[in-house]
Structure formats: structure tokens, C-alpha cells
Structure 1
């Protein structure tokens, strides 16, 4: 087969239908072999035939014919009328006078670039996003049995609890019946004994009467005591009312109200529910921000009183003017910074204290619920469960630059800790062991995470180290503190954040300070002014640092400026 035709769908001449195609008429859009070219040129046509070699066809543009001047090809484009035009259309008449004209070749090139961009977006973003959503829905469908199993188990568990309580109540009431029956029997027995004693005395009195009547002894008759008057007065009659069980009327309505009710299954259509997957960029492709040096003395910019008794986390919103906070209760609070004011409060769906909070690139709040084993997103005043774990409990969460989600979690027995990478809430990667199959993270200690600008994942491991792995999960280094520390205590990292310079900022609870290192773990300096017990950290787009002070009854967020 001719190599020039090997990529074509039709390889035979349109005229003879047997020879291999070698030429093409761009006027008639006919494929020809060389032998049939002459025959084709002899056919009459309103436009001149344009015969080209098939292998050159891709480099020659095919212009549309003019609908007004039938023998002309349109090599220009009227931007005002948005139609192709030929040279005669331009120079004759006033139809396109003063209109903006462009060469179709230029429009063709521009549109090719636009189409290439669309193709790339389709291949790299739109189609993968739809595939991920499809996979996510498949996962959600596969979880239905388990999710509804949780509800059924809850009903069964509550039913068993009711059965136990009802059995206890029945046993208690039956015991009370037995006690009342015994008391009733005892009272009747005593009453019966009293009448038995009286009857015996009456029998004795009767016998005395008989003996006296049978005797002629005058003294015996004269001294006889008459007792019938006394015995005519009978003792009080003992009467007892039997207990009765008054059953409450049972109906489906009042029983359901007492037992508990199922919320209704509902569906909502959220226009902002899904978000487009971000195009992944290599670190080299992202221009680095200008280098900024550290201030000799960090400055306190402002102090925000949140009202929490215990405060543990802060996240700065994209506007830099608002912050989300979480304490040791079920309320999540959104504050405006200047002037300080509470904008909004959200209570967790379960009523549990959220373990940690994060913000998506769309600005939605995400929180982990340790007790419920769930990760939840707050969108348009509604809370949606997006991840539910089994045998693991979520702790720290953060979003990546590509829009994915990182979640650290503890096993139920607190013997294992791992980090899981989710894409559209579907598990993508697990990071748990180093190259020697040793645990990267210490079990039993909370793990707080942040992604650095070079895509490293930085974790504050409460056992005394900042553990940094690359995006593939390979260990890069461990930072175990710097001596001397402000309080000369052991390094106790509890919160972590990064900035545009690649700095890693870690809150040291026991030393009441912030450690700043570069992206390779080299110590740069401490921030130790005005801190009590620093916990959660967050940076804004200007690299200001927000620190949550966890000291009891402090409830304060401190904003620092520490870069030039």
C-alpha cells in the first residue's frame, strides 16, 4: 500500500474504484488515482479543478465557495457579518464596506489554537473530572448497603434497648404484684386468726352455758356471766381492693414518637456540588514568588477574640478578610477580621466536636468527625458527608493545589496511623510506611498536615517530629526541633502550615513558640512573642501567620507579620 494513503479511511479511487488513491481534487472533494486525473479534469464544473498530491493535502487549506460569486473561493472572513467572503464580495457593492475583515487563514490558525486548548482541557481536566465523578458515584452506590446497614443497626440496637427496658419494667411490676399479694394474704390470714380465736372462746362460752343449765347449783346459776352482748358486736370487716394494671393506649403514632423517627430520604440538586478538577502543574511550571526575608522581630498585627473556652484550629479564607475557627464544642465559627465580628456559626451534623477543619479551593469548609468516622463538607448552609471510614477514624485534613484531599487517620486500636490521598473523595493513594516498611508516623499521636509549594506533604507528628514526604510518599526528612528552645522543653509539634516561600511553620505546644524551617528542614528562627499554648496554624496569601491560642479561656487568634 502507498504510504501516503495508509492513514485514509478510503484507499480506492472514487472514479475507477480499484486503483490506490494518489491525488485529490480540492474543488470537488474527489479522491483520484493518477490515471483518472485527466478524465476528471475533462468534466465540466463551474469552478476550476484544483488537483493536488494527496500527501500535500494536509498543508493546503480548503476554502469555502462563495454563495454569491459561484466561481470564487472565500479567502477572507467578515467579522461584522460573521461569514466567509470572496474578493469580489469585498470590492463590489456596499455590503461589507467599512467592515472588519480578516484572512480566513488567520482565523483558521487562531481557531486551531482554541480547539487545541479545548482538546487539552477535555483530555486533562473535563473528561477526567467526569470519570472521577462517575467513579465517585459508583463508590457511593457500593456504599449504600453499608450506609443503610448503619441505619438498620441503629434501629435494631435501639429496639433491643427498648426490649431490655420494657422487660425490666415488666419484671419490676410483676415483683410489685407479688409483694402486694403477699401483703394481702398476710392481712387476711391475721384477720382469719382473730375470728378463729373468737370462735374458740364462743365454743367455751357455749359449753359453760350448757353446764350451768344442767346444774341444780343455785350459786353457779346466779354467778353466770352473760357474754352474748359482747359477741354480738362483730369486729370490723377487713376489705381490700385488688390492684389493677392500667395500660396506656398504644398507637403507631405515639409509639413512633416515643421510640424515635427516621428522617425522610430527600434529594437536592446543587449547581455548585461538583467542582472541576484542577490541572496538575509541576513545581517547575509555577513561577516562584519574590524572595522575602524574615523580620528580625515578628510583629503582632491583630488579636481576634473568638469566645471559645478552648480554641484549636483556624483557617484563613481566600479573601484574607475572614477566618473559620473550631474549638472544643460542636460549633464552627466564621469571623470577619476587620472589624472583628461573628458572621456565621455552623453546628456539626452529629453534634460531636470536629477534629480538624480545612477549606477547599472553592472556599467550602471541610471538617473531620472522629467519632462518626466521617469527613464532611459544608456547602450552601448544608452539611454533606463525603467520606465514611471503617476501622479507621479521620484526624487531620487539607486540600492540595490540584483540588484533591489529604486525610490522616488512626486505626480503631490506635496502633496504626496513615495518610490517605483522595481525588474527588475516592481513595487514590495511601502513605504509611517508608522504604524499609517502617511506619512513617507514630501511632497514638495526632497527625496534622499541610502541603508545601513543592508538593511535599508536611506532617506535625505529636511524638516529636515534623515528617516530610514528597508527593509520591517517599520520606524526605524529619525535623525534630532546635535547641535551645524558648522553654527548654522537648519538641511537641501540634499544628503546621506552609507559605509562598516554602517555609514550614510548626507550633510547639510545650515551648510556646513557632518553629520556622525552610522546605528542606533547615531551622531559620522561632516566633515566641505573645504566645501561651499555640495549636492550629494558617497563613494568608500575604504570608501573614494566624495562630490559635489553646490556653483555657483565652480563645484568641493572633495574627503575625514575620516576613519583610
Structure 2
């Protein structure tokens, strides 16, 4: 049997085995491995592990035999009898211990990715469902209100039309009524005259007075001419047949309803998909790729490689493309400017509000409060690649005084800190790096941080108009383990404020006074 070498040092013989991490260990590396506080370990002798493995590797087809190999084509463990059988004779086989080690390592890697990355992403998606449901309900209510408003508008128009026609009818009534009354008066007067003439004629027929009869003159011609007939042409309402299609066009219509699923733009790449940034060398001089004109800036955060969220000295957060074109605007819940903004893995926008000491999530048209702070004010934040939130905060009341002692370490440690949150639970507090240096200066200067794909934390401190030091505008990068990596400077950055990185680890820097966002490359290309 080949000698088993230590997985860590690659040199010494490994008599021990960690059943949790599934690695072989020499005696010297056992101590170092057990001192790792990041996880639980169970180290046993390699011999004991192999005996246990052998005990658990009884052949399912030949119970008296132990399986020492694994058939890759059939994906089953096999014993010596199985190997010599025709069923597995031409199949590729591997040592079962090697297969076990490889599979356990894969299981461990998948477990960590599911726990630390994938599950948190699904949690975000689940948390977004009630917001999406509320958005749908709110949208439906708005559309129903719009329908009622249109209905009222149409009713109002119909009422106006009817009222106008009724007014016209009344006006016409006022005009033809006097004409009829005049005609009536003329006819009645003539009729009275005719009645009187009839009485007079009857008297003449009965009288014996020859003189009265001789004086009679006929008026029959006068009465034969009848009065003119009054002709009135009254208007008639001509109702049109209601055309539902035309009415629908006039009233309006609903747009097409559809339910679609789309791939999310924030799928986490597998560890093998891209080389780790920590394995890539840094450029000696960072390269300016482009600058994007916007407005007076404090913060910047990448929604994608082509779109960036920004915020400045007002309550409005704005989404731009790399051409500087405004795509979208969102107002803060409190009506005050945000202290920091960041985009989550699922594409939601989170912002810090020092006015009400809260961290908020913008999703669709809804703003949800995620975290409420007590005695601390948020001064900046970023959403990490693991789904956590890193929040910079200053003490709310006690450290507002300007007469602080910058050399008082206890005072400084209690003035400003960075806190890591998993959901709304505080999981880590960072005040200094491993060299004992404070990450930020004391006071309410503008402070920023961001994280790259290797979980390196980049921090910037804009107190007194400088970045971390008082002699130049520069940014420093802190490694995942807290070690200082390097400065980024001499790249034409002026009055730097917000920071963020895209999926290719290009660094976006917001310039406070120029209103520009500068895109910098500080890692060497992997091409």
C-alpha cells in the first residue's frame, strides 16, 4: 500500500485523519488543524478510520467480502468477486478510499456553499414574496381606482352632454311658446268677432227696418281669409346604437396580463468558475477605465457591470448606466439623505438612514425596515457576497462632542465600529485591524466600505477631506484575515467618497465634488 502523505504540508507521513474535513494529517499539522476555531473537527487515527471504512464496506452481493473498489460506470462499490465477474469486467474502477475522500470533500464543499450562500439567497427570495404580494395587491387597487376615476369621468361627460341638450330644449321651448300664444290670441279675437257678426246678421234678418238692412255690407271675404298656420319644427333626440367596441376604445383598455419567470442576474458562480482574486496579482498602478458624469455624490453601488446606484446630498437615490443616463429614482422613507447604499445578491437596494437609525430594503415600490439601531447611527454599509450586511456606525449621543481625545483608545473604540449582520442578527464587530490600527478616524466624517469576491474589505475614510491619510487621496484594501494588502492611489481620484466593485473586481469610486464615478482596474487581467 502507498504511504499516505499529509494533506496540509504535503510532505510528512499522515497517521491521522479528520472525519469532518476529510483530510489526512501528520502529527505536527494535527495541532494546527485543531487550533482552527472556525469549525468543529474530529481527528482519529488513519488506521482506525480505515478499519471503520472496511467494516462499513461489506459487499451487498457477497456479504463475506469487503469492497475495496468502486465501479465508476455502475456507480456501486465492488469486492474482488464482483471485479472478476463479467458484469464489471470491462468497467473502469477506482480505489474506494480515494472515491470516499473525493466524495466527502465534494459533500463538504456543497454543504458549505448551500449553508453560506445558496440558502441565504433563497431566504432573500422568500422574504421578497410578501413584498411582491403586497405590490400586486397595491397595483390592483391602483388600477381599480383608475377604472373608477375613468368611469366617473365618462359619467360626467355624459351628464354634461345630457344637460346641454336639455338646456337647448328649454331654450327652444321659450322661443316657440310666445309664438303659439300670439297665434292663439289672433284666432280667439277673430272668433269673437265672427260670433258678434253672426248675432248682428240674425238681428237684421228679423228686423223690419228697411234702412238698417240697406246699410249692411258683407264682411265674409275678410273672414274667409284664414289666419296663417303656425308651423313649428320641434327637435327630436336621435339616440345612436351603443357600439361597445367603440366605447371600449374611447374608455380605455387593460394591457396584456402575463406571468413569466426569468433567470436572476445574481447567480453565484461556482468556486471553480473564476480564479480567486487573492491568487491574482495587483497592478502596480491602477488603471482608469472610464468616468461617469452624475451629480454631487456620496455613495455608489453596482447593480450590474453596466448599471450603478448612486446617492448624494438629498433624499433621492438614482440608478445610472455607464453612459451617465438616469434610469430610475427612489426616495428614502424618512425624506432625508441616505448615509450609505448597497445592492444585495438578489438585486435589491439597501440603504442606511441615520435620521431614524435604520437599515432599509427597497424592493419594487415597497421600502422595508430590516434593522433598527439603538444608541448608534449608521454611517455606511455594504452587502457581502455571503449575503450578510456590513454596517459602519457611530455612537449616537455620547460621542457627538468635538472635544474628544483622538489618542484615547477606549474612547476611539467606542466611537466607531463595523458590525456584520446575518439577517437582523449581529454576528461580528470590527473596530481595528490585526495591527491595532483603527479602520476609521473618530467623528462624523464620511465613511465607506465595500467587499470584493474574495471577501476582502475595502474601507475609505473621508474625514477632513482625505482618504485615510491627510496627505493624499487614497484607498486601502484589507484582506479577509484583516491584513493590510495595499493602497490604491496615484490614479487621478479627487475627493473620493463611495466605493463598490463589480463582478470582475473593477473598483468604482464616487468623487464628492466633481460628481463623477470613476471605474478603476486594480487587479491584473486573467486573460
TM-score (norm 1): 0.45
TM-score (norm 2): 0.48
